[in-house]
Structures are given as structure tokens and as C-alpha cells.
Amino acid sequence: MNSTVVLVMRRSKLEQEREFIGIRYPNVTTRFAILCLFAGLALLAAVSMYRSYAAAQGSGDSPRAEASSDGWAGANVREVQEKLRDGGFYSGEIDGVYSTELAAALVRYQIRNGLPITGQLDLETSDALGAKPAVTANAVSREQSSETWRQLRRGEQQARNDTRVARSADANETVVSPTGMPPQGTPSLAASISSASVKPASAPPATAAGSSNGDISTERLRDYVGAFVLAGLDPQVGAEADFFADRVQYYDEGTIDRKKIRRDLQRYAARWPKRRFWLAGDVTAKPQNGNRVRVTFPLRYELRNGKKHSSGRIAKTIVLEPTGDDLQIVAVNERKAR
């Protein structure tokens, strides 16, 4: 009996304490569950905020306005096509279609005007053209990006542009650059190819002698440079390795094969996943021994990986050798430039 009395007394005391601090057993489980729910929601919100902050830091760029749907409207694209045609960059149909041919023309325009080489109607390019931007990152645009640099590399539009120049010459017309500058005269192979100058209509395109398939025009070389830079931004990492010969004098690494070059390019892309490039001045071309051509061009760059950032200017040199109807890089080097 004594133990029973003690147990009852203890229970009575415990119940008094619970009533004093406001705890009821039926509510403990519910309160604990609610507390866990709020804690989980707070943790989820914190993780979401951290990811948003990390993404903003990783982009390295200040927020920019998104391209409006108006940029894809036929009227806007036709206006861009007309302006590029008038500048001698585009020779396709004025149909309001955002095609690979138009993207290649945009690269030419970007090279000539010192804009970021993207092959897209991005914010900087659309502003220079007085048009609305039209940019996307879907699978179709990525595939078009690859086809754009391939088309530039093949120089498919050069024959059409040469025809246009010849017709202008017959009509005694004067071709003027998009910036309104007068023609600067016909550059020879050893002369600089200025991003702001245009050859006069009365003269044939400057050429690089020594090609087994006829001469190499300076416009073809400029297209090739644009294609090479654009391939470095291709979603298929290491795509620019396709420009190299089987064996290449590769920077200070000596002569290596294309497979090693591709691996090096993939490592570079992994180190700097966000890359931007501008042609920062004149492109020069000089004939070398045999049928090779030495092409040098200044390149501005911005590289980012999260909080890491690198920018500057280099003078890049590639040595080209004709192979069939194509050109391939047999040597590459670069040095820092002011």
C-alpha cells in the first residue's frame, strides 16, 4: 500500500507541474511536428537563397534585360537583314527568318565593329544595329551556333560577296563601310585587314598567294578567324580542335597531335566555363614558306568561373595551310598585348 500511495503522490505532483508550465501530453506531439515543419521550411529557404546568390556570383555579369519576344518578330529580323546587307555582311533573302546565314553575317558584323563574337543578335549587337535583341539558349540555337562557325570556316558567302563587289564595280558604284568611312584602298596580303575599313568596289579582293585551290582572300581569312573564335564557345567543348592539323606546333608545348589539343581545350573550358571574346583591332596576314599563311589578330577576353575572373588582351597567331577546299592550323601561339 505504501508504494501505491507514493506512486499516486508522484503522479499528482507531475500533473501539477505540467499544468503550471502549460504542457499537455496530447499537445506535445503536435507541437513538435509543427516545430519540425517550420524548421524544415526555414532550411529550404536558406538553401534556395544561397543557390541564388551563388548563381549570381558565378555569372560574373550584372543583371541584364532579357531579350523580348519582339526580337524574334519578322519585322525586326528583316530590318537586321537589310542593315547587314547594306553593310556587305549579308547576301541572303530578306525574309525575316533567323537563319544560319544571318548568324554568320552577325559574326562578320561583330568582328568589324569590335563587338563580342557570339553569332547572335545579343544586347550589344542589337544596340549597335538599332534593333531588338533576340537570344536563346535552347537546343536549336546551340545546333545553329555549331553550323554558323562551320559555314564561316567554309567561306560559303565569300563567292556571293565577290559577285556583289564585281557588280558594283561594273556599275561604278562605291562601297561604303557600315560606319560611313570611305574606302581605304585595296590591302595586300601583308597589309593589315582593318575591322573598320572596306575595300573599294573597283578593286578585286586581296588574296594570299600559294593556295593549291586558288588564292585566299582576306575576307576568307577574316571569316576563318571568326569561325575559330566562335567554335571556342561551342556547347560541344573542344570543337575548335577540328581546325587543327593532325600534328601542330602548339604554343610552347612543341609539336603535339589533335587528340592532345582537344584534351587541353576541354581542360581550359572546365577551368573557365564562362568566356567572352572580342576582336580588338587589325588582322594581319603574311605569306610563309610554301603555301602557308601566317595570320595574327588581337583578341580581348573575359573569363569567369564563379568568383574567379581573368581579363586582358592577347595577340594570337595561327599559321594556316590549305588542304583541299579547306584551311587547317599547323601552328598556334600567343603573347600578351597592351
Residue 21: count other Cβ atoms within 10 Å of its Cβ.
6
Closest by CA to 277, choosing from 302, 297, 298, is 302
pLDDT at 44 over 90: no
For residue 97 the three cell numbers come to 527568318
Rg (Cα) of the chain, in Å, rounded? 31
pLDDT at 207 over 80: no
How confident is the model at residue 11, as a pLDDT? 54
Class of domain 69-336: alpha beta
How confident is the model at residue 82, as a pLDDT? 95
Distance from C-alpha of 334 to C-alpha of 252, rounded to nearest angstrom: 10
Quick check: 205 and 218 in contact, CB under 8 A? yes
The pLDDT of 52-78, averaged and rounded, is 55
Quick check: 329 and 248 in contact, CB under 8 A? yes
What tens digit of pLDDT does each residue of 216-249 get?
Answer: 788 889 999 999 999 999 888 889 999 999 999 9
Fill in the amino acid letter for 241: A
Closest by CA to 67, choosing from 131, 4, 161, is 131
Average pLDDT, the chain: 74
Domain edges within the chain: 2-57, 69-336
Instruction: Name which residue leads in pLDDT, 25 or 39.
Output: 39
Distance from C-alpha of 260 to C-alpha of 135, rounded to nearest angstrom: 33
φ and ψ at 131, to 5 degrees?
-125, 180
Distance from C-alpha of 314 to C-alpha of 336, rounded to nearest angstrom: 4
Quick check: 330 and 245 in contact, CB under 8 A? yes
Quick check: 121 and 131 in contact, CB under 8 A? yes
Quick check: 299 and 277 in contact, CB under 8 A? yes
What tens digit of pLDDT does each residue of 290-318 get?
Answer: 889 999 999 999 999 999 999 999 999 99
Beta bridge partners of 313: 300
Fill in the amino acid letter for 123: L
**13 band by pLDDT with thresholds 50, 70 and 90:** low
Residue 229: count other Cβ atoms within 10 Å of its Cβ.
27
Fill in the amino acid letter for 210: G
Of the listed ranges 50-64, 198-212, 323-337, the one predicted with least confidence = 198-212
CA distances from 245 to 92, 259, 295 (A): 32, 10, 16
